[in-house]
Amino acid sequence: MHQPSAEPRAESRRSGALRVGLFNVKYSPNLGDGLLSECIEAELKRIVPGLSVEAFDLAGRTDYVAGGRLRGTALSLLQSSPTPVRHGLARTLLGRSLSRQRPVWRARLAGIDAAVTGGGNLFSDADLNFPLKIDAAWGELRAAGIPTAVFAVGVADNWSETGAALFRRALAGTRILHASVRDARSAEIWNRRLGPSGAPRAQVVHDPGLLVARHVPQLRRPGTTPRIGLGLTHPTTLRYHSDEAAVSERDLNAWYAALVRGCFARGWTVDVFTNGSPEDEAYLRRLRTILAETAPAPAGGPAITFAPRFRNPTELAAFVSGLDLLMAHRLHANIAAYSYGIPQIGFTWDLKLASFFDLVGRSDYVRTAGRERPEAVLALAERGLREGLDRRRHAAILNEARADVAALAEALTTSVEARAARLHEAHP
């Protein structure tokens, strides 16, 4: 489903004037969002010399920050509230935030030629969050006469009636240069839900985070002891966003302790980390105490470490690049591991993770933390360490991911050049 590379044509333009606005949640405390955004930026700049990219964070953030400590409490409150209450809160709180943000976007858009919306799971509806943000952002793009490409987004089938209406309103009158999504399920949902409203059919492309190994050097530590990365996600987050019945925190804690003991029994070192969300960091601190009591590292044996919060996506990528195997819920920790050729076991919690593993031919390596026997997961880890990745397929997928961004670059440059030609004809 991938288009032939448009890279030679895009590079031949040597356009130094193209100014792109990139709309996503780059500066989210979850550094996976920043990782994919920085990959898009770096790859577009590589393909089109002189191109500049301005980040438009849909939440109005301007830098990587740890995020509020009350986020986990807010998620718990939303989860326990009826839908009308959640939607009312979202409209009030987000409405105020977007009212402040839109004039800022409006001023910055004066220097932009074309926009890209993506990547990330932007076309999902968790209490109207993205429907409201996309509607506001695309409203400003329409008013400024700026077209947008939609690139490598995830599309969920969880839209409320209000959320669907907001997405359709955002689409109305917005000029979309290119539409692509990151998996076949997202394409089906996009085409079914937005096709009747005039959206172009979505192509399936790879997640741009797969290119992180092309832009952040791999850091391998000396030593022969296998390093296992264990990525944590707060149980409340799993319950709030999960497509399946959630495991209780108590059961999940006990399961992690058994998993870590099994790693020690095999002589493996365990490095525990998060992608950066404050609620995940809070869970890591709690689990650290539990593991010290229930799964202490044997004297003179393999160690367990707890990574400090990474300050930016480069630090997250560098950490992942030094592992021998990863086990994690978060999608972009798994994507980064694959990029570096590191085997991984994905802990399923929503369909986007399963879709990624299916796309790269590793669906056998998706398991449910807290439900499957730790010994079964450990046996799968042994297999992963032994077999590694299919190197030929891995290289092909990374080349396809690079071609996907080249096709995006072609759509952007073609649109801007056509617009310039029309203006020249009108005002020779």
pLDDT tens-digit map of 319-333: 999 999 999 999 999
Q: Which amino acid is at 195?
A: G
In this prediction, residues 67-80 reach a mean pLDDT of 56
Q: Which tokens is 422 given? A: 């029309």
Q: Could you tell me the pLDDT band of residue 101, with boundaries at 50, 70 and 90?
A: very high
Matching fold, domains 7-210+398-426 and 219-339+343-388: yes
The yes/no answer on whether domain 219-339+343-388 falls in CATH 3.90.1150.10 is no
Residue 322, helix vs strand vs coil:
coil
Q: Could you tell me the pLDDT band of residue 78, with boundaries at 50, 70 and 90?
A: low
Q: Which tokens is 362 given? A: 């590793």
Q: The tokens 């500049």 sit on which residue?
A: 52
Q: Could you tell me the pLDDT band of residue 79, with boundaries at 50, 70 and 90?
A: low
Q: Is the pLDDT of residue 7 over 50?
A: no
Stated length of the chain: 428
Contact assessment for residue 51 and residue 15, using Cβ atoms and an 8 Å cutoff: yes
Q: Could you tell me the pLDDT band of residue 244, with boundaries at 50, 70 and 90?
A: low
Q: CATH fold of 7-210+398-426, please?
A: Rossmann fold (3.40.50)
Q: Where are the domains of the chain?
A: 7-210+398-426, 219-339+343-388
Query: How far apart are alpha carbons 400 and 205 in whole angstroms?
Result: 8
Query: How far apart are alpha carbons 259 and 370 in whole angstroms?
Result: 10
In this prediction, residues 174-183 reach a mean pLDDT of 97
Q: pTM for this structure? A: 0.91
User: In this predicted structure, what is the pLDDT of residue 242?
Assistant: 64
Residues 6+ apart with CB under 8 A from 366: 345, 346, 348, 353, 354, 357
Give 280-289 contacts, CB < 8 A, sequence gap 24+: 280/30, 280/232, 280/233, 280/234, 280/237, 281/66, 281/309, 282/69, 282/72, 282/234, 283/232, 283/233, 283/234, 283/235, 284/232, 286/253, 287/232, 287/253, 287/256
Residues 6+ apart with CB under 8 A from 327: 228, 229, 230, 231, 259, 344, 345, 347, 377, 381
* Short-list 142, 141, 159, 207, CA closest to 180: 207
Is the CA virtual torsion 6, 412, 336, 203 positive or negative? Answer: negative
Strands (E), 297-428: 304-306, 325-328, 344-347, 366-367
Question: pLDDT tens digits, residue range 403-425?
Answer: 999 999 999 999 998 877 777 67
Residue 73's φ and ψ, nearest 5 degrees, are -65, -40
Q: Could you tell me the pLDDT band of residue 10, with boundaries at 50, 70 and 90?
A: very low
Q: Could you tell me the pLDDT band of residue 177, with boundaries at 50, 70 and 90?
A: very high
Query: How far apart are alpha carbons 171 and 202 in whole angstroms?
Result: 14
Q: Which amino acid is at 88?
A: G
